[in-house]
Amino acid sequence: MQESNIKDDSCKRTVDNDNKDAKKVKTSDENGDQTCCCHLSQIYKNLDDSTLKENNENFETLNVPFKCHLFRNFIQENDFLQSLRKELMEDVDYHLKNNDLYSFRQSDDFKNISFPNTTAIRSCLLNEARKFLSHVTSIELFDDIIDITASKYEYNDVLLCHDDQLEGRRIAFILYLTPDWSESDGGLLNIFDHDDNKQPTKVIKSIVPEWNTFVCFEVTPVSFHTVSEVFSKEKCRLTVNGWFRGPGFQEASPYIEQYVNVKKCGDINVSQEVFTTWVNPMYLKSKYQRSIQRKFVKSSEISLPDFLNEEKFEQVSRLLGSDHLSWKFNLPPNKRRFEVLNEECETPEILTELINVFQSEAMFLTLSNFTGLKLHPLAENDDSSDEDENDSECNPRCRLQVRKWSKGCYTLVHDYDPEVMDNLPKLDLNICFNHDFEANQEFGGFTSYITKGSDETLLCVEPASNCLSIVYMDGETVRFVKYLNDSFDNVYQDLNLTFQE
């Protein structure tokens, strides 16, 4: 994160250390002395469990699936909060944060910001609030460490499902500085339940941003939550948020999914006659395949428009867009959310045939000719000296999904996804149906290819009907489909396949 170096030579700022538990940040300038006072509300001082229960109109707690506390009227001085909001909205710089998981704007850490109100709220949270929360939660917290920033969520901004786990984080917190906010504005803090594998399932609690409300929860392996998409075009969801750190952090063993529906080359037999009725004959000509391979070897990706026979493509498009198919959501939401074809229901013959064509031995060979990869025993090998070795190691295979996309759908890069963990090169294929409208990156839905551990985009592929996208992913490349936000009003489908040598 880029650090802010804001300084104001005309204004000297000192911290009054006489009372560490209730610090005041004093500023002096040409207009005279000004004092920023920031304290916890009196109702949260010297509390015991019985007092908290008596103040239940200001205090709520959720014990499962993880402890989450809500404190209304948290800061005593409302005038201070108004000044803090004004300072955060008008004076503080923000950086766009945008990747597979989120889209919003964030300030630098408050320890690097010298404005009086941000300094005051940091001091209050690090001292008064830390002691209060440590007492309420019985969690030991470091007395000199706090991560604290401001976040601005505006129209279509979102933070998708995650658990906040990072070494040292013990309590996550949010102080809402958003007046006149309603559930219809979006931006809710959603708390998820989890299954036996400690994977998130459904939302069991939604918290609407409320002025001067402080929400905190213990960071655990199951502290799954989201900030739902902001729907308001006029309002800004402003928060002060971060983490208290402390000893005793223990990361649970990760749950690792297994590959399913893996097909080997030769498992699906489709006659050459059937295969040629589906694929545009232009792409089956040897001369054209060599041209495609030259382009692919140079750029590691290629898009092939009008790949399927037009009549066949239209038949499948009508079927996929109809009400005759059964779909179900593919989850968990910390990894993905989109619909897939329900395999428990009967699949119409024409769709079954298309699925078989893409997993057929003929397709393995065709892709070998497109890319130069050894996806079929009969594929040409430029290095004849390694021919015997390559043949013995050749184990081409693929996985296929029929997916349905609408607003709210996405995929995330996840450390424990088997595709991320195996570090093996892959060929990623995608072909869309019923995407007969202009793509708009502001709506999401594009596939972004990145290097592991980096947010920098290597390649961005927009969905387009009957255009086969082929992308080579080395062992360090991962991909995600960007969250489709509420501005997207369409529905489309695709076939996604992953091939490996």
For position 185, which CATH number holds?
A: 2.60.120.620
Query: Same domain for 177 and 287?
Result: no
Number of other CB atoms surrounding residue 53 within 10 Å: 10
Least confident of 2-11, 262-271, 282-291, 431-440: 2-11
Instruction: Quick: pLDDT tens for 462-487.
Output: 999 999 999 999 999 999 999 999 99
Give domain status of residue 440, yes or no: yes
Q: Compute the distance between CA of residue 168 and CA of residue 247 in angstroms, rounded to an integer.
A: 6
Query: Same domain for 213 and 153?
Result: yes
Give long-range contacts, CB 8 A cutoff, 24+ apart: 286-295.
Answer: 286/369, 289/366, 289/369, 289/370, 290/369, 292/369, 292/370, 293/369, 293/370, 293/371, 293/372
Q: How confident is the model at residue 32 (pLDDT cuts 50, 70, 90)?
A: very low
Give domain status of residue 386, yes or no: no
Query: Same domain for 277 and 309?
Result: yes
Which H or E run contains 54? helix 49-54
Query: Same domain for 121 and 179?
Result: yes
Answer with the one of 211, 245, 279 that is the final residue of a domain. 245
Sort residue 415 into left (φ over 0), alpha (ψ -120 to 50) or beta. alpha
Residue count of the chain: 501
Give domain status of residue 18, yes or no: no
Answer with the one of 245, 275, 306 that is the final residue of a domain. 245
Q: Are 450 and 457 in contact (CB under 8 A)?
A: yes
Q: Is 468 helix (H, G, I), strand (E, B) or coil?
A: strand
Give domain status of residue 27, yes or no: no
Structural domain containing residue 118: 42-245
Give domain status of residue 100, yes or no: yes
Domain tally for the chain?
A: 2
Q: Are 465 and 432 in contact (CB under 8 A)?
A: yes
Beta-carbon contacts of 489 under 8 Å, excluding residues fewer than 6 positions away, are: 407
Question: Region 134-142: what's the mean pLDDT?
Answer: 94
Query: Same domain for 162 and 207?
Result: yes
Give domain status of residue 373, yes or no: yes
pTM (whole model) above 0.75 = yes
Query: Same domain for 53 and 202?
Result: yes
Instruction: Quick: pLDDT tens for 199-217.
Output: 999 999 999 999 999 999 9
Query: Same domain for 269 and 354?
Result: yes
Query: Same domain for 223 and 295?
Result: no
Query: Same domain for 63 and 135?
Result: yes
Which residue from 384, 379, 378 is spatially nearest to 368, judged by alpha carbons?
379
Tokens of 171: 């309590």
Question: Region 149-172: what's the mean pLDDT?
Answer: 96
Query: Same domain for 410 and 346?
Result: yes
Query: Same domain for 273 and 321?
Result: yes
pLDDT at residue 27 above 70? no
SS (H, E, C) 76-142: CCHHHHHHHHHHHHHCCCCEEEECCCEEEEECCCHHHCCCHHHHHHHHHHHHHHHHHHHHHHCCCCC
